[in-house]
Amino acid sequence: MALMMLTEAIARYVRDGQSVALEGFTHLIPFAAGHEVIRQQRRNLHLIRMTPDLIYDQMIGMGCASELTFSWGGNPGVGSLHRLRDAVEKDWPQPLKLHEHSHAEMAVAYTAGASGLPCGLTRRHADTDLAKVPDARVKAIECPFTGDSMTAVGAINPDVTILHAQQVDAAGNVLIRGIVGAAKEAAMAARALIVTVEELVEQLDADMNAIVLPDFLVTAVAVVPGGAYPSYAQGYYSRDNAFYMAWDDIARDRQRFRDWMERHVLALPDQAAFLRELQVSA
């Protein structure tokens, strides 16, 4: 098992200019890992995520990214991701090139990537402008059997996928449960897989059909309790909806955002200190 400190995992496997997917659909978002990427000042990343969420708002605002592949970029139930918007609308802190899809397209793109296929398929949705944007990675094709109209979506194969999960066992197998989003597909599509987990256990608490990533798929594991906060880990702690609402004000202003990141991320060594600073843990 490639158990190591998170700092070492990011230092070793995440490089400037790579395509990096931090997945987890609302649930199990790897915030601790994202913060470590910010601390280590990675630049010109091509970030990939269905829902950029606060973690990409932070990474974009701190200048880690030059490209973004995504399908829905808001603060769920709250409003805009102000740092994402500022990058797109005003090029601050740098221009951000967008590749956008629908959720369904991204789901099949990850699945294709995980399956060793060059593209995934959906039944064609009725005409929209999404297929017409510059560099759209979708093409209309015809089914060779029925003639039905379909959309081919270019596969997504991130250089690195980073997940947060509940448990790793002594052999290095990883358990994910609850809302799983496209985490498994993003993991299987990647060239390298880094996972942070809530805890190391002797034996996984897993049903026979649970989502387990066997150890040989996992490049590096780091034990980071609370590593998904302010997202959540089913069975461990819940989503901090109050924090998500508070983020709207913090991120609205460039200076306030920078100050907040300086104090809560850059000035602190790790997630444990971050949780103490926010008084989430004792």
Partner 1 sequence: MKESGYTADEIMTVTAARQLRNGAVCFVGIGLPSAACNLARMSHAPGLVLIYESGTVGTKPSVLPLSIGDGELAETAVCVVPLPEIFTHYLQRGRVDVGFLGAAQIDRYGNLNTTVVGDYSKPKVRLPGAGGAPEIATHAREVLIVMKQSPRSFVPRLDFRTSCGFLDGAGHRRASGAPGRGPRVVVTDFGVLQPHPENDELQLTGIYPGVTVEAVRAATGWPLKVADTIEQLSAPNPAELVCLRDLHARTEAAHAHRVKI
Q: H-helix or E-strand containing 174?
A: strand 174-176
Q: Which one, 220 or 250, has the nearer CB to partner 1?
A: 250
Answer yes or no whether residue 116 interacts with partner 1 by CB under 8 A: no
Q: Look up residue 126 and give its amino acid.
A: A
Site for partner 1 in 38-57 (CB under 8 A): 50-51
Q: Which one, 13 or 25, has the nearer CB to partner 1?
A: 25
Answer yes or no whether residue 146 interacts with partner 1 by CB under 8 A: no
Answer yes or no whether residue 268 interacts with partner 1 by CB under 8 A: no
Q: List own/partner pairs for 72-79 with CB under 8 A and 24 or more apart.
A: 72/103, 75/244, 75/247, 75/248, 76/26, 76/51, 76/244, 77/241, 77/244, 78/244, 78/245, 78/247, 78/248, 79/248
**Of all residues in the chain, what percent are helix, strand and coil, respectively (each to 5)?**
35, 25, 40
Q: How many residues bind partner 1 (CB under 8 A)?
A: 67
Answer yes or no whether residue 219 interacts with partner 1 by CB under 8 A: no
Instruction: Choose the stretch contacting partner 1; rule: CB under 8 A; options: 7-15, 96-104, 167-175, 249-257.
Output: 96-104
Answer yes or no whether residue 93 interacts with partner 1 by CB under 8 A: no
Instruction: Choose the stretch contacting partner 1; rule: CB under 8 A; options: 84-92, 166-174, 216-224, 260-268.
Output: 84-92
Helix (H, G, I), strand (E, B) or coil at 218: coil
Burial of 77 (0-12, 13-18, 19+ CB in 10 A): exposed
Answer yes or no whether residue 157 interacts with partner 1 by CB under 8 A: no
Residue with tokens 């999960």: 165
Answer yes or no whether residue 245 interacts with partner 1 by CB under 8 A: yes
Answer yes or no whether residue 94 interacts with partner 1 by CB under 8 A: no
Helix (H, G, I), strand (E, B) or coil at 124: coil
Answer yes or no whether residue 85 interacts with partner 1 by CB under 8 A: yes
Instruction: Choose the stretch contacting partner 1; rule: CB under 8 A; options: 5-13, 30-38, 179-187, 247-255.
Output: 179-187
Decide if 99 contacts 93 (C-beta within 8 A).
no
Site for partner 1 in 120-139 (CB under 8 A): 122-130, 133-134
Burial of 98 (0-12, 13-18, 19+ CB in 10 A): middle
Q: Which residues form the interface with partner 1 (CB under 8 A)?
A: 25-27, 50-51, 70-74, 76-78, 80-81, 84-85, 88-89, 100-104, 107-108, 110-111, 122-130, 133-134, 149, 178-182, 184-185, 211, 225-226, 229-230, 232, 234, 236-245, 275, 280-281
